[in-house]
Amino acid sequence: MTTESAQFGPQYGFGVYIHWPYCAKICPYCDFNVYAAKGRDPEPLLKAIRKDIAIHRPRMPEHGAADSLYLGGGTPSLLAPDAIAGLVTAAGDSFGLKHDAEITIEANPNDIMRMDLEGLKVAGINRLSIGIQSLRDHALAFLGRDHDSDVARAALKRAMKIFPNVSIDLIYARPGQSEDEWQAELADVLEYGAPHISLYELTIEERTAFGKAAARGQMTPMDDDDQADLYELTQDVLSAAGLPAYEISNHAMSEKYQSRHNNIYWNGGDWIGVGPGAHGRLSVGGNRYASEAERQPAAYIANVQALASGWSEASKLYPLDNARELLAMGLRPSSGIDRTRIESISGRTLSQAKIDVFVEEGWMVQDGPRLALTARGRILADALTAELSP
Ligand code: SF4
């Protein structure tokens, strides 16, 4: 093993990511690879994904059992429990899943209310990530969600009766949202006692319906300073409630509830990405590869059938790419990253002068070789990463 490859790969975690691209309704802010579910037969895509997982196995002889399996999307909770069980089994048959593997599915509140949650557990799922987004009806209507706050509350209660490991997603920094409103909404959410909360600032992406509305002047995104104020408020309220941030957007009651799957991304581990548009990082023979699957479901299915791979491409990453990616990802969690890993991959020393400035400004802490952002530094994560990049 070369020095460079010792700094990433399955020894830092190994996961399976499955992208299910269909949604009951496309939300106006969504920039993911998604398609309307209506009238689609899920079977051809399920079959292709199961086959794609199996195809990955012989390419990755160094990989042992997976630490995690993540069904994301899109809306994988549109699938029936037996279809979900088929995907979990496919991952287990090809790679094996560790006895304590984290197996997550993203779910919409409407699906939680109609789903057989016990069946989901039998299928192997042990963590639910629920797209609550808000507990305010006007906000849910603005975000174009197809659930209201009553359904969000009922789904949360129902899920938590059956799954101890529940995560909820919330979107804030909505246009016009005040600090008082957000604080009251957070207090409301915290009443439910979910052990993990992911909080995302609303970002307006150009190619989305919101992006087009903003370009026409029909929507004004919240300005950066107000967003930063809401971010700081979020940190304070959640820390005081016993859910400190363990990453820029993620909060957990304890280490037990931190996302093991996402930790693989932040820690330079490996994952296979299967399903339309899914990305992967694979370490093979001392090299690291970035894989990207065909985005269109029909093209993905055709690729799996014809070429025995769902990939549209798998390119070798160069040492500098690996080092820069590891710095950007490694500074996201509050535990930070060992700088010697980045220096060993890139062959370049990170600027101590810049690190000193960041520490002086209260943006970063340095503990031996470990660098980590503070709560204030996390607001500036992108800029600090770019500045320090090897
Ligand atoms: S449900 Fe989620 S993945 Fe689907 S369109 Fe809405 S935000 Fe995007």
This prediction's pTM: 0.95
CB of residue 131 inside a 6 A radius of ligand 1: yes
Per-residue confidence (pLDDT) for residue 1, from 0 to 100: 44
Report the Cα–Cα distance between both ends of the chain, in Å, rounded. 23
Q: What's the pLDDT tens digit per position in 226-264?
A: 999 999 999 999 999 999 999 999 999 999 999 999 999
Q: What's the pLDDT tens digit per position in 76-113?
A: 999 999 999 999 999 999 999 999 999 999 999 999 99
Phi, psi of 103 (to 5 degrees): -125, 105
CB of residue 32 inside a 6 A radius of ligand 1: yes
Architecture of domain 318-390: Orthogonal Bundle (1.10)
Q: How many CA atoms lie within 13 A of 231 on its CB side?
A: 22
Residue of minimum CA distance from atom 3 in ligand 1: 74
Interval between CA 113 and ligand 1 midpoint (Å): 17
Query: In a 10 Å sphere around its CB, with 0-12 CB exposed, 13-18 middle and 19+ buried, how is residue 383 labelled?
Result: exposed
Residue of minimum CA distance from atom 7 in ligand 1: 30
Give the nearest ligand 1 atom to 25 CA: 5
Range 274-279 average pLDDT: 96
Q: Which helix (H) or strand (E) holds 100?
A: strand 97-107
CB of residue 73 inside a 6 A radius of ligand 1: yes
Distance, CA of 196 to CA of 159 (rounded, Å): 13
At residue 4, what is the residue type? E
Query: In a 10 Å sphere around its CB, with 0-12 CB exposed, 13-18 middle and 19+ buried, how is residue 273 labelled?
Result: buried
Give the nearest ligand 1 atom to 144 CA: 6
- Does residue 289 carry a pLDDT above 80? yes
Q: CATH number of 5-264: 3.40.50.970, 3.30.460.80, 3.40.190.10, 3.20.20.70? A: 3.20.20.70
What whole-number percentage of the chain has pLDDT above 90?
A: 91
Closest C-alpha among 273, 294, 251, 373 to residue 35: 294
Interval between CA 71 and ligand 1 midpoint (Å): 14
Distance, CA of 325 to CA of 342 (rounded, Å): 9
CB 132 within 8 A of CB 150: no
Question: pLDDT: is 4 or 382 the higher one?
Answer: 382
CB of residue 34 inside a 6 A radius of ligand 1: yes
The SS3 of residue 171 is strand
Closest C-alpha among 77, 115, 71, 75 to residue 89: 71
Distance, CA of 157 to CA of 260 (rounded, Å): 24
The residue whose CB lies within 8 Å of the most ligand 1 atoms, and thus the one to mutate among 19, 25, 26, 169, is: 26
- Does residue 43 carry a pLDDT above 70? yes
Q: What's the pLDDT tens digit per position in 118-170?
A: 999 999 999 999 999 999 999 999 999 999 999 999 999 999 999 999 999 99
Share the mean pLDDT of the chain. 94
Helices (H), the chain: 43-59, 81-94, 109-114, 117-122, 137-142, 149-162, 179-190, 209-215, 224-240, 260-266, 297-307, 319-330, 339-346, 352-360, 375-379, 381-388
Per-residue confidence (pLDDT) for residue 273, from 0 to 100: 96
CB 35 within 8 A of CB 298: no
Per-residue confidence (pLDDT) for residue 166, from 0 to 100: 98
Give the nearest ligand 1 atom to 73 CA: 3
365's tokens: 């802490």
Q: What's the pLDDT tens digit per position in 51-63?
A: 999 999 988 888 9
Strands 127-133 and 166-172: parallel
Query: In a 10 Å sphere around its CB, with 0-12 CB exposed, 13-18 middle and 19+ buried, how is residue 285 labelled?
Result: exposed
Enumerate the domain spans of the chain.
Answer: 5-264, 318-390
Per-residue confidence (pLDDT) for residue 61, from 0 to 100: 86
Q: What's the pLDDT tens digit per position in 332-364?
A: 999 999 999 999 999 999 999 999 999 999 999
- Does residue 331 carry a pLDDT above 50? yes
Per-residue confidence (pLDDT) for residue 386, from 0 to 100: 96
- Does residue 310 carry a pLDDT above 80? no
Per-residue confidence (pLDDT) for residue 59, from 0 to 100: 85
The residue whose CB lies within 8 Å of the most ligand 1 atoms, and thus the one to mutate among 30, 35, 168, 210, is: 30
Q: How many CB atoms lie within 10 A of CB 2?
A: 12
Give the nearest ligand 1 atom to 108 CA: 1
265's tokens: 């991304």
Closest C-alpha among 158, 157, 149, 247 to residue 193: 157
Interval between CA 75 and ligand 1 midpoint (Å): 7
Range 269-283 average pLDDT: 96
Residue of minimum CA distance from atom 6 in ligand 1: 27
Per-residue confidence (pLDDT) for residue 62, from 0 to 100: 84
Distance, CA of 20 to CA of 18 (rounded, Å): 6
CB of residue 297 inside a 6 A radius of ligand 1: no
